[in-house]
């Protein structure tokens, strides 16, 4: 059973461009979480999704950021018109049904660098 | 606001020695889970140990153990017989939500020296 997959692992964008980060949860997992880690800081929750539904987006900036988890395919975190402050590591985690509170499995992260 | 405090930015320990990392948290909930995650230089987040708040017995995983003091809202991690591969950033975290939103501390950098 493959772990949580994230791609790309590294992404470089210029200010004003769009960034798309992908996350494929572990097989059988229906919960997906996105976290952001700014340099020298801990992870901060951004959004929690189940298939085709955003359950909690309280940690996500209101503008330029969006997330989806379609019925088919990976979860996508989309950042429009990136700014230098968006440079960070973005981690995806997944958990199986009924075990969301107990265990989250993290992907390797995507390092976004905005020039 | 619910918070997690790790008061030690960095700890150094020699191989085979023991190091204890402190963590305090603030929540008004009664049922929650506590975690320690390890982030080595590869930046991968690795679960080290987990504790359920309603269990009084402290969790242990091989060389890793916790001291959970619920009344004091304290959750320290002890690494025994430290190994070079233990060098990493260690994050304390907890979740109170039914669907698992994790709150993380700022981390403690552990450096194991030969």
CB contact under 8 A, B106 and A95: no
* Residue A45 in contact with partner chain B when CB distance is under 8 A: yes
pLDDT band (50, 70, 90) for residue B27: confident
| CB-based contact B19:B1 (threshold 8 Å) | no
Residue A43 pLDDT more than 60? yes
Query: Tokens in use for A86?
Result: 């968006």
Q: Which of B72, B54, B56, B62 is nearest to B38 (CA)?
A: B62
* Residue B105 in contact with partner chain A when CB distance is under 8 A: yes
Contacts of residue A9, Cβ cutoff 8 Å, sequence gap at least 6: A108, A109, A110, A111
CB contact under 8 A, B44 and A33: no
Residue B71 pLDDT more than 80? yes
B56 compared with A4, residue with greater pLDDT: A4
Number of H helices, E strands in chain A: 0, 11
> Mean pLDDT across the stretch A18-44?
93
* Residue B99 in contact with partner chain A when CB distance is under 8 A: yes
The reported pLDDT for the residue numbered B1 is 57
Give contacts of A98 with chain B, Cβ < 8 Å: none
* Residue A38 in contact with partner chain B when CB distance is under 8 A: no
């Amino acid at each position: 059973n493959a772990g949580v997959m994230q791609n790309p692992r590294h992404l470089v964008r210029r200010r004003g461009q769009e960034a798309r980060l992908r996350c494929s949860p572990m097989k059988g997992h229906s919960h997906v979480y996105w976290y952001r880690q700014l340099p020298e800081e801990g992870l901060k929750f951004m959004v929690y999704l189940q298939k085709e539904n955003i359950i909690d987006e309280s940690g996500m900036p209101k503008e330029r950021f969006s997330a989806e988890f379609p019925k088919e395919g990976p979860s996508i975190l989309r950042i429009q018109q990136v700014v230098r402050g968006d440079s960070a590591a973005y981690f995806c985690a997944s958990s199986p049904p009924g075990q969301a509170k107990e265990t989250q499995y993290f992907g390797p992260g995507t390092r976004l660098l905005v020039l | 606001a619910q918070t997690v405090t790790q008061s030690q930015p960095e700890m150094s320990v020699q191989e085979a020695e023991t190091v204890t990392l402190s963590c305090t948290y603030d929540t008004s909930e009664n049922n929650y889970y506590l975690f320690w995650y390890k982030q080595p230089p590869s930046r991968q987040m690795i679960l080290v140990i987990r504790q359920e708040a309603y269990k009084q017995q402290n969790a242990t995983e091989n060389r890793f153990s916790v001291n959970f003091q619920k009344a004091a809202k304290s959750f320290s991690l002890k690494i025994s017989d430290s190994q070079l591969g233990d060098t990493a950033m260690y994050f304390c975290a907890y979740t109170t939500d039914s669907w698992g939103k994790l709150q993380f501390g700022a981390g403690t950098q552990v450096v194991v020296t030969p």
